[in-house]
Chains A and B, each alone.
Chain A
Amino acid sequence: MKPMRFPPPQRHRTALFRAPVAPALIVAAAALTLVFISPAAAQDNVSKSEADAKLRYCEVCHGAAAQGFHGYYPIPRLAGQPTEYLKNQLQAFVEHRRTSNIMFNVGHVLSPAMINALTTDFNQLNPKPLGGAPKQDLDEGKKIFDNGVAGTNVPPCASCHGPQAKGNGPFPRLAGQLYDYITNKLTNWDKERGQNPSSPDTSAVMQPIAHSLTQPQIKAVAAYLSYLE
């Protein structure tokens, strides 16, 4: 084999500036090309396969296409959730403002890039609602959703969550959410959310509302929402 030939050592100071400019330009050009061609350009360092694997992992509990699942606890639908809401919740879990041991474990290993990828994916999923809620109070639930409860602290839910309960920005989508998840959360709002009194968060908004709703009202509105597509 012919020995490799190296260029002779540079002896002059100016040699430092005679960097291999052409190869560097080529590499830079290639990198930039890749960055702009790749669809994950904005996500910088999460590969599609990593993001897919993480998504499948989330779906183990949150159900196929993240439609939600009746585990030991009701595990909520993530499909169609606004990305801002999802990111806020993941952050809340990690900062223990929202207490869930399992979700803390899930959340604290996620990089920002991964969070971006996941929340985008969830937002774009659109499976049918899981269903199964009792159907006798759907009209009552719709009335509460559209009009609130007169004479109480309960405004129309639609005013923040949207007329079709699809949410927006920091306000979660409620359409198609699990019946027993909604009832559970509304009934136990303070037990899980806003758990860091020195760091109050947007969950405080729901507190007076959750407290003002009676159990039958909670069940009615939860049942109504659970069937919305």
Chain B
Amino acid sequence: MRALKPLRIEGTPEARLRPAIWKLTDVRLRVGLAALVATLFFVGAVSAQHRIGPSGDIAAKISYCKDCHGVSAQGYNGYFPIPRLAGQQPVYLQNQLRAFIEHRRTNNIMFNVAHSLSPAMVDALATHFASLHPPPIGGAPRQKVATGRKIFEDGMPEVNIAACAACHGPDATGSGQIPRLAGQLYPYLIKTLNNWDKERGRNPTVPDASAIMSPVAHSLNRSQIEAVAAFVSTLR
């Protein structure tokens, strides 16, 4: 390796203060090092886009959602029960956020939350929450679970109650626009089923998918609602 002429600073008192790296006299080493640094910088910048976990605005928004919905979006029993979003079907989440914005689903808090979200943000949030899998927070009365399982898996055809599993899946994980129920909060499910029409399908000129659940919610009596809610709240 042919050495270059020594840099001017070498041998001078200032040389001590210069970074050792400046003492490299071989041009190939210098170029190679520069290339390495540039590559690392580039890789770092690129991987920052793709690293697991979003960055910037999306991360801040996720943190905000989690302030209410729980640190892993597992839900939280606040003054009002705040539903689990973890593992939720992304299409369902997107539909609900849009329903809040369009007042087809009436909830003042969620309208405030949703109406400032860009479509890209909605997609990012839905994708993120779908990827989370904390265990259910539980707490439902255990003695209701067996009855709830029966209603969920078999329905009650004598009284025209459809088997929830037909649409929500045998593990209550949902599909497409049909929500995951597995691990959902017990009081949230009860409140939702008991008050279906009070919050959903509120724009009569724009009927939406929530209409499917209206006859189902009405066909269940209180104790059946509590049973099926207890059952699905235990599912992982």
Contact between chain A and chain B defined by CB under 8 Å:
yes
Contact A73 B166 (CB under 8 A): yes
Expressed in whole angstroms, the minimum distance between the Cβ of A99 and any Cβ of chain B is 15
Known: A102-B166, A105-B163. A60 touches B154 (CB 8 A): no
Contact B178 A60 (CB under 8 A): no
Q: Which residues of B contact A53 (CB under 8 A)?
A: 160
Expressed in whole angstroms, the minimum distance between the Cβ of B92 and any Cβ of chain A is 13
Expressed in whole angstroms, the minimum distance between the Cβ of A201 and any Cβ of chain B is 23
Known: A60-B215, A102-B155, A106-B155. A54 touches B170 (CB 8 A): no
Known: A61-B162, A106-B157, A109-B157. A72 touches B178 (CB 8 A): yes
Contact B176 A70 (CB under 8 A): yes
- Interface residue SS majority, chain A: helix
User: Total A-B residue pairs with C-beta atoms closer than 8 Å?
Assistant: 59
Q: Which residues of B contact A101 (CB under 8 A)?
A: 153-154
Known: A57-B219, A72-B174. A102 touches B167 (CB 8 A): no
The interface of chain A, by Cβ under 8 A from chain B, is 53-54, 56-57, 59-61, 64, 69-73, 75, 101-102, 105-106, 108-110
- 29 cross-chain CB contacts under 8 A: A54-B160, A56-B160, A57-B157, A57-B162, A57-B215, A60-B212, A60-B215, A60-B216, A61-B166, A61-B167, A64-B211, A70-B177, A71-B166, A71-B167, A71-B175, A72-B165, A72-B166, A72-B168, A72-B174, A75-B166, A101-B154, A102-B154, A102-B155, A105-B154, A105-B155, A105-B157, A108-B157, A109-B157, A110-B157
The 3 lowest CB-CB distance pairs between A and B, nearest first, are A71-B167, A57-B160, A72-B169
